Amino acid sequence: MMLNPPLRKLVLLIHVLGSVGWTGAGAAFLALAVTGLNSPHPLTIRAAYIAMVPITWWIIVPLALVSLVSGLLLSLFTPWGLFRHYWIVFKLLISSISLPVLLVHTGIIRRVAGAAMSANFNFRELYQDRLQLVIASAVALAALVIATLLSIYKPRGRID
């Protein structure tokens, strides 16, 4: 069963908005992570880490789910197919790996944000977690940019 053209365009719009939104939110998260790691101002550091929790749960996770589900719908119910082109498989791998990794990192996000909310927050104490947030968000952003490049350039190579 194929999606009719108006429905296909709607799902495509949702997919593009979800994917681009996820990328933008990931860039904002990276900015917060870098700020939290490098700012000389304790209040700025606290604010950066506290802001990560709602950005993650209210923006990044929902957009990641929208991107993954709408991408699956487009690949399954349009002529592109899920396993016909390598670029689609790579995008699926990027999304399906990124989402669980993101969910694993929410534990670190909550731990650092919780510490930032405490009166006796020691910035050096959670340095490894704070550094991991920078590295993980930079890698995630790079992966999302690669997925976007694959969508635009659609490299040749069919599976079937």
Query: Which pLDDT band holds residue 80 (cuts at 50, 70, 90)?
Result: confident
Amino acid 25: pLDDT: 98
Using the predicted structure, report yes or no on whether residue 157 has a pLDDT greater than 90: no
Amino acid 23: pLDDT: 97
Using the predicted structure, report yes or no on whether residue 117 has a pLDDT greater than 80: yes
Query: Which pLDDT band holds residue 123 (cuts at 50, 70, 90)?
Result: confident
Using the predicted structure, report yes or no on whether residue 4 has a pLDDT greater than 80: yes
pLDDT tens digit string along 18-48?
A: 999 999 999 999 999 999 999 999 999 999 9
HEC string for the chain: CCCCHHHHHHHHHHHHHHHHHHHHHHHHHHHHHHHHHHCCCHHHHHHHHHHHHHHHHHHHHHHHHHHHHHHHHHHHCCCCCCCCEHHHHHHHHHHHHHHHHHHHHHHHHHHHHHHHHCCCCCCCCCHHHHHHHHHHHHHHHHHHHHHHHHHHHCCCCECC
Indicate the pTM of the whole model.
0.93
